[in-house]
Amino acid sequence: KCLLGYTKPFVRCGEKEYVMAGSYRKHAEAIYNFQVRPDDVWVITVPRSGTTWVQELVWLVANNMDFKTAKDKPLYKRFPMLEVSTHIPEIAVELIKINFFNLGNFQGLNEAVKEKSWKSLDKAPSPRFIKTHLPLSMLPPNLLSTAKVVYVARDPRDVAVSYYYLYKMTNKSLLRANFTHFWEAFRRDLLPWTPIVAHANEAFEKRHHPNLHFVFYENMKKDLHREIGEVAKFLNKDYTDAQIDRLAEHLSFDNLRKNKNVNNSINKDSEIQFIRKGEAGGWRAHFDEKMQLQAEEFLVTRLAGLELSYPSFP
Ligand code: A3P
């Protein structure tokens, strides 16, 4: 079910009214009926929550720390995005048309859309690694009972700032917009794939499900070694401390930022990179007092009545 949203050409879809690209309507059913496989591993997030970081982590943990393949093959090929590579390349095209993405800067999407030989996930060999920004309620209903899912959540204030820079990186016309304008849209839940708190809460409510592993970005910042260990347990893998340390080093902000297979925005035109600052709490530098109060109100009202809270809030 999709309603026309006030963020044309986006629409609001599903019981919880998520903001989606208009063409999502055409594909909602196909996505809902997508064939999940028992050996799939999915990473689900709202954009800018640390998706890429966790994808690289999950892929290496699941693939016996195969750093060689990770070095040879870009992450977007090892771990494609459901919305782009299977049913809805049109969404990407639509995002380009409305200037949401400037594909010139966006290697992964660019190739996914252009490459005629792009294999649909339906035909991809097992085990598949699948990234999506769709919330659980818009994904196949047997997903959790069939495959393993890692959900990553991040303080919405940091997501807002990071999302703003993604727009700046990909959409030249927005370069003049300031963060205050962007924040107005964010706090009204008008950005694609939001509302952010409802999205996270859907997964948080299932956090005790044996096939769901819920991760906070902030906890990865605090103790990456520990979080790698938890993912390894979740994926039934056993690694020594030294192996985990090596992966933590590979996943460090500086190393991922330099890694062309992961930081898919490395381009000459932009100062802003896909892997940008990597801070928890960096939002403070972007919020004046009024915005801080608005953000608090945003979080208090969205979290009211939920068990979900963020390590950084309250
Ligand atoms: P910032 O813009 O705040 O720097 P996603 O992959 O979901 O789009 O998330 C992108 C965010 O994750 C960016 O946040 C990016 O810098 C951050 N990130 C990526 N790799 C990271 C790492 N190794 N350590 C910390 N943050 C990382």
Question: Residue 22: inside a domain, yes or no?
Answer: no
* pLDDT of amino acid 174: 53
Q: What does the alpha-carbon distance between residue 185 and residue 208 come to, in Å, rounded to a whole number? A: 33
Give residue 170's pLDDT: 64
What's this model's pTM, rounded to 2 decimal places? 0.90
- Contact assessment for residue 152 and residue 217, using Cβ atoms and an 8 Å cutoff: yes
ipTM of the complex: 0.99
Position 38 in a domain: yes
Per-residue pLDDT of the chain (314 residues; tens, 9 = 90+): 445 433 444 566 666 678 877 667 777 788 888 899 999 999 999 999 999 999 999 999 999 999 999 999 989 889 988 877 544 455 555 555 554 444 444 455 555 554 433 447 888 899 999 999 999 998 999 999 999 999 999 999 999 999 988 877 765 555 566 888 888 888 988 788 889 999 999 999 999 999 999 999 999 999 999 999 999 999 999 999 999 999 999 999 999 988 888 886 545 455 667 888 999 999 999 999 999 999 999 999 999 999 999 999 98
pLDDT at 43 (0 to 100):
98
- Could you tell me if residue 193 is inside a domain? yes
Q: Is 46 in the pocket of ligand 1 (CB under 6 A)?
A: no
Whether residue 98 is contained in a domain is answered as yes
pLDDT recorded at residue 118: 40
Q: What's the pLDDT at 198?
A: 95
CB 227 within 8 A of CB 221: no
CA distance 124 to 158: 34
Structure tokens at 80: 């494609």
Distance 167 CA to ligand 1 centre (A): 14
Domain that holds residue 110: 31-303
Phi, psi (rounded to 5 degrees) for 115: -65, 110
Interatomic CA distance for residues 38 and 40, integer angstroms? 6
Q: What pLDDT does 184 receive?
A: 86
Q: Atom 24 of ligand 1 has which residue's CA nearest to it? A: 253
Whole-number pLDDT of residue 165: 86
State the DSSP H helix or E strand holding residue 129, giving kind and residue range, or none if neither.
strand 129-132
Does the C-beta of 44 come closer than 6 Å to ligand 1?
no
Query: Which letter, b or e, does each residue of 47-74 get, where b requires 16 or more Cβ atoms within 10 Å of its Cβ?
Result: ebbbbbbbbbbbbbbbbebeeeebeeeb
Residue 198 lies in a domain: yes
Atom of ligand 1 nearest to the CA of 252: 23
Q: Is there a domain that residue 124 lies in?
A: yes
- The CATH number of residue 258's host domain is 3.40.50.300
Our count of domains for the chain comes to: 1
Strand partners, 310: 313
Query: In this structure, what are the phi and psi dihedrals at residue 64, rounded to the nearest 5 degrees?
Result: 50, 40
Query: In testing the pocket of ligand 1, which one of 44, 48, 105, 251 has its CB within 8 Å of the most ligand atoms?
Result: 48
| Domain-embedded: residue 25 | no
The answer to whether residue 24 sits within a structural domain is no
